[in-house]
């Protein structure tokens, strides 16, 4: 059988090892993906045994960096010696000929192969031809090579596909998939998906909007903890959830600290206001009325982002939010009073939980031969992988296993 395994997750590495020893002809499309967090449990007896049998000394895998250096790296080297490893981003997975609705009379859809389309750097393609097909390489004209200015799309056909990729794609700051004006905004001011974990606000960023309230948004807010301690900074959290971060103790600790700061400011304000009100009228006019403190933390729960705009001077972004009547907004419910509102911010972190590149546009939800597992919990993921092996062995007889 000819098998494609998609992903750079520890689970994809484990699957590649297993099916290599089962005698499959496989291609691992490792892409450039990285896990969001390190669980500390991403090894197996098969992986350790393979390292020992190939003469690699095993060392403690007590961090993600150690796991990559002493476990993943030598095992990937082993796989490259026996199988095909392509470090390219997969663009789509389709059937070779069949449409999503089409059936073959008297046969399963599994009769048709899967087509994996992936991106690669043209220079990699040219260098590859120089090594594997020198006759073709010498026939490549300068004009042809000069025309390869951007990424090149290639494809390969497979009997089976195991999609073990991490979710990586955040398409839009709007959960509907599109916010008005989103594509015109300075990309340095709107950070998407996993890139939000690699960026911190600049010194000049005073007002930040975080969009989302899932795992990724929680990680972003935890990274902003020190930034939030500065009394000049303001955070706006926009989410469709009614009660965001409910039950998250780490986030609750940060939010409670900010609430205490506001309460302390309110106590000071009320004292100054009483003192000002007790002044005679002719004295009051000489002193401005104390300004009520503005909360530095604002939740817009149950809200959608419908548009984003940028001033001509490119110094501020403006988010347009809508609150539909069919939603609840339990966190800071006073912000629900207006159906439409606008926020001015310096930077936006679109921290909606990522998804995989959508293949259900091209394949059926239960497509024979296509197996999809989103890495989550190592032990349960291994159980799922064992179930996939059992399903595949119903279609193919495994070769002698080690």
- Tell me the pTM: 0.69
Of the segments 74-88, 251-265, 361-375, which one has the largest average pLDDT value? 74-88
How far is it, in rounded angstroms, from Cα 227 to Cα 225? 5
The answer to whether the CB of 51 falls within 8 A of the CB of 74 is yes
Q: Which two tokens stand for residue 314?
A: 């490119």
- Angle of the 73-82 helix axis to the 10-21 helix axis, nearest 10: 40
The pLDDT of residue 7 is above 60: yes
The rounded Cα 125 to chain-centroid distance in angstroms is 28
Q: Where in the chain is the domain with CATH 3.50.50.60?
A: 2-168+355-395, 182-350
User: Percent of the chain, pLDDT > 70?
Assistant: 88
For 250-265, what is the mean pLDDT? Answer: 80
The pLDDT of residue 146 is above 60: no
The answer to whether the CB of 11 falls within 8 A of the CB of 373 is yes
Residue 130, pLDDT score = 66
The answer to whether the CB of 351 falls within 8 A of the CB of 209 is no
Residue ranges of alpha helices (H) inside 159-240 are 215-223, 225-228
Strand partners, 155: 117
C-alpha radius of gyration, the chain, whole number: 27
What CATH code is assigned to 2-168+355-395? Answer: 3.50.50.60
How far is it, in rounded angstroms, from Cα 98 to Cα 100? 7
Can you give the length of the chain in residues?
A: 402
How far is it, in rounded angstroms, from Cα 243 to Cα 90? 36
Q: Is 40 left (phi over 0), alpha (psi -120 to 50) or beta?
A: left
Residue 48, pLDDT score = 93
Residue 370, pLDDT score = 94
Three-state SS at 59: coil
Q: Which two tokens stand for residue 140?
A: 């490549």
The answer to whether the CB of 162 falls within 8 A of the CB of 28 is no
Considering the four listed CATH numbers 3.40.50.300, 3.40.1160.10, 3.50.50.60, 1.10.10.10, the one that applies to the domain covering 182-350 is 3.50.50.60
Residue 76, pLDDT score = 95
How are strands ordered across the β-sheet holding 207-211? 190-192, 347-350, 207-211, 234-239, 297-301
In terms of pLDDT, which residue wins out, 366 or 59?
A: 366
DSSP 90: E
16-73 tens-digit pLDDT: 999 999 999 999 999 876 665 667 778 999 999 999 999 887 777 888 888 888 999 9
Give the residue among 218, 242, 228 at the shortest CA–CA distance from 299. Answer: 242
Give the C-alpha distances (Å, rounded to integers) separating 45 from 17, 53, 68, 347.
11, 12, 17, 46
The answer to whether the CB of 250 falls within 8 A of the CB of 222 is yes
At 342, the pLDDT band (50, 70, 90 cuts) reads very high
How far is it, in rounded angstroms, from Cα 300 to Cα 333? 8
């Amino acid at each position: 059988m000819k098998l494609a395994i998609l992903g750079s997750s520890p689970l994809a590495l484990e699957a590649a090892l297993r099916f290599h020893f089962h005698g499959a002809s496989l291609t691992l499309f490792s892409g450039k993906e990285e896990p969001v967090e390190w669980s500390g449990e991403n090894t197996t007896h098969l992986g350790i045994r393979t390292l020992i049998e190939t003469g690699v000394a095993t060392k403690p895998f007590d961090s993600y960096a150690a796991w990559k250096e002493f476990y993943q790296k030598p095992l990937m080297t082993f796989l490259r010696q026996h199988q095909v490893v392509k470090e390219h981003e997969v663009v789509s997975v389709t059937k070779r000929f069949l449409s999503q609705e089409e059936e073959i009379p008297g046969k399963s859809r599994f009769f048709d192969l899967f087509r994996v389309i992936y991106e690669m750097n043209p220079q990699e393609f040219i260098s590859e031809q120089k090594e594997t097909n020198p006759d073709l390489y010498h026939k490549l004209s300068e004009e042809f090579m000069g025309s390869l200015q951007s990424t090149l799309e290639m494809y390969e056909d497979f009997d089976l596909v195991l999609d073990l990729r991490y979710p990586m794609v955040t398409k839009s700051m709007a959960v509907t998939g599109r916010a008005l004006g989103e594509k015109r905004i300075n990309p340095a001011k709107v950070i998407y998906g996993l890139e939000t974990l690699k960026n911190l606000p600049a010194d000049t960023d005073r007002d930040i909007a975080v969009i989302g309230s899932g795992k990724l948004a929680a990680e972003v807010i935890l990274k902003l903890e020190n930034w939030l301690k500065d009394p000049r900074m303001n955070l706006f959290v926009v989410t469709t959830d009614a009660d965001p971060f409910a039950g998250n103790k780490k986030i609750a600790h940060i939010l409670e600290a900010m609430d205490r700061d506001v309460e302390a400011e309110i106590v000071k304000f009320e004292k100054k206001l009483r003192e000002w009100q007790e002044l005679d009228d002719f004295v009051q006019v000489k002193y401005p009325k104390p300004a009520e403190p503005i909360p530095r933390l604002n939740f817009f729960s149950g809200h959608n982002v419908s548009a984003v705009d940028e001033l001509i001077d490119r110094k501020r972004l403006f988010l347009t939010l809508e609150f539909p009547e069919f939603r609840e907004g339990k966190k800071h419910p006073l912000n629900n009073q207006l159906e439409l509102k606008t926020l001015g911010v310096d930077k936006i972190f679109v921290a909606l939980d990522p998804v995989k590149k959508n293949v259900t546009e091209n394949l059926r939800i239960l497509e024979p031969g296509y197996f999809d597992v989103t890495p989550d919990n190592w032990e349960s993921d291994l159980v799922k992988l064992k179930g996939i092996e059992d399903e595949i062995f119903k279609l193919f007889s495994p070769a002698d296993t080690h």
